[in-house]
Amino acid sequence: MKSTPNQLLDYRCRLGGPTSLGRSGVSQMYHLHVLESEGHKILQELFPQLKDKLLNEYDVREYSFKTDCRFMVNGFLLNQDLTEDFPLLGIDRFTLETAMRKELCLQYGNQIEWKCNSRAVQLIVDQSLNIIKGIKYRQKHHVDSSSIDLYGDFIIDCTGRNTSSVKWLKESFNLIVPTMQIHFGLGYVTFIGERFKTGDPSLDSKQIVACSFNSPDNNTGFATTPIREIKTMDENSLGTLSTLLVQCVNYEYPPNDSYENLLEWIKEKLGPECYSVFKSKKVCSPLVSYRRAIDDRKYVEQLGKKWPQNYVLLGDAMCTFNPGYAQGMTHACRQARELGKIFQENCHKLKDISHIFNRRASAISEECWLLSTTND
């Protein structure tokens, strides 16, 4: 967290392991992410200084969805007839996460104890009372050392899409959590690049260019969004570093073995507009691939009072979605806000909170689930 904005960018471009920054992170953090307005609003409420810091310290800029963006959906230019504009902040997830952690420490530093590079490995439970009393964790650098116990009044599993909760609850309570999964053959390849003029003004005047997939007719898409302004003397440069993404569903995977092969794939699958944007890029990082995403929902609310007290799943741990619809982070933010609200209502017994949260959080998951899965 002491890294300067330039060191962070350097880390991002070299795919430096976040472990050396004191945390494990998640493998998708190198990929292009879009945060919905509601998620952005929640972050602004929690961290009122964050936006100004990003703009002033990280060379981040705000863009207009109406004028700085070219967003094609199934052959239609989506953003040309907007009655209302959307501001877009151009930043990468890696930098945003670190900046947010810094803000969290500034606000609550003396109330938080970080257990860095550690892994929760088991629950500590009282079966007869149906409560989770704590967790056992291990430090990653000392895999052979024995686990350490950590007790809590209320425990939130926010360990993301690979949560072990389903396994742990089965082991500890013989509880079977109803789940549903949909596999849709998602593939992402993302890298950082400097954009140069293509000679086509309709592309060169737009910092954000995107074309979404529309399965089953069209299973591939692409997007580029700026993450930093840069100083350059080259008049052909657009003056920004950007994240570039190509994506697919239905297993039409883009290659990441070489940039030449990726360009060939783009030419064949995505057409001249995307090809010309990608061909005019200077590549500034390795090509990172991701192929494991699925829709994966845990119907915790169906278990009613069988669900243990003092324990909830939140965010991806409860439900993951097709990343192509960019809902996951906002879903996690909304569930976190709801949990905060339940505590602030100040009228619930601690033992009831997990059941109340499960009902309300699953309603949030349901909205996002419908959007993702009707198409998938």
Ligand X SMILES: Cc1cc2nc3c(=O)[nH]c(=O)nc-3n(C[C@H](O)[C@H](O)[C@H](O)COP(=O)(O)OP(=O)(O)OC[C@H]3O[C@@H](n4cnc5c(N)ncnc54)[C@H](O)[C@@H]3O)c2cc1C
Our CB check for ligand X shows the closer of 165 and 198 to be 165
Selected binder of ligand X within 293, 300, 312, 353 (CB under 6 A): 293
Q: Does position 72 bind ligand X by CB under 6 A?
A: no
Total interface residues for ligand X by CB under 6 A: 27
Q: How buried is residue 358: exposed, middle or buried, by Cβ count under 10 Å (0-12/13-18/19+)?
A: buried
Contacts of 199 (CB under 8 A, 6+ apart): none
Our CB check for ligand X shows the closer of 31 and 133 to be 31
Closest Cα partner for 215 from 189, 186, 188, 244? 186
Residue number, nearest CB to ligand X:
328
Binders of ligand X among residues 128 to 167 (CB under 6 A) are: 158-161
Q: Does position 90 bind ligand X by CB under 6 A?
A: no
Q: Does position 34 bind ligand X by CB under 6 A?
A: yes
d(CA 92, CA 244): 11
Q: Does position 332 bind ligand X by CB under 6 A?
A: yes
Stretch that binds ligand X, among 84-92, 268-276, 312-320, 362-370 (CB under 6 A): 312-320
Stretch that binds ligand X, among 30-38, 84-92, 255-263, 272-280 (CB under 6 A): 30-38
Half-sphere exposure at residue 317, Cβ-oriented, CA atoms within 13 angstroms? 21
Task: Quote the least distance from Cβ 84 to ligand X, whole Å.
Answer: 21
What is the three-class DSSP state of 175? coil
Selected binder of ligand X within 326, 337, 356, 360 (CB under 6 A): 326
The position carrying tokens 């949990």 is 339
Selected binder of ligand X within 328, 353, 365, 368 (CB under 6 A): 328
Selected binder of ligand X within 12, 33, 195, 334 (CB under 6 A): 33
Contacts of 359 (CB under 8 A, 6+ apart): 301
For the four alpha carbons of 299, 303, 304 and 306, in that order, the dihedral sign comes to negative
Task: Quote the least distance from Cβ 335 to ligand X, whole Å.
Answer: 8
- Per-residue DSSP letters for 232-244? ---TTEEEEEEEE
Q: Does position 26 bind ligand X by CB under 6 A?
A: yes
Q: Which amino acid is at 214?
A: N
Q: Does position 297 bind ligand X by CB under 6 A?
A: no
The position carrying tokens 């339940």 is 342
Stretch that binds ligand X, among 68-76, 268-276, 323-331, 338-346 (CB under 6 A): 323-331
Contacts of 8 (CB under 8 A, 6+ apart): 94, 95, 98
Stretch that binds ligand X, among 26-34, 45-53, 233-241, 256-264 (CB under 6 A): 26-34
- Per-residue DSSP letters for 317-338? GTEE--GGG--HHHHHHHHHHH
Q: Does position 221 bind ligand X by CB under 6 A?
A: no
Q: Does position 120 bind ligand X by CB under 6 A?
A: yes
Continuous H helices in the chain: 5-14, 37-46, 50-57, 93-108, 165-173, 201-204, 259-279, 328-344, 350-375
Our CB check for ligand X shows the closer of 281 and 331 to be 331
Selected binder of ligand X within 11, 184, 188, 307 (CB under 6 A): 188
Our CB check for ligand X shows the closer of 33 and 228 to be 33
Q: What does the buried/exposed string (b/e) look like for 205-240 if buried means 16 or more CB atoms within 10 Å of the residue's CB?
A: ebbbbbbbbbbeebbbbbbbbbbbbeeeeeeebbbb
Selected binder of ligand X within 218, 327, 354, 372 (CB under 6 A): 327
Q: Does position 330 bind ligand X by CB under 6 A?
A: yes
Q: Does position 51 bind ligand X by CB under 6 A?
A: no
Q: Does position 334 bind ligand X by CB under 6 A?
A: no
Q: Name the site residues for ligand X (rule: CB under 6 A).
A: 24-26, 28, 31, 33-35, 119-120, 158-161, 188, 290, 293, 315-317, 323, 326-330, 332
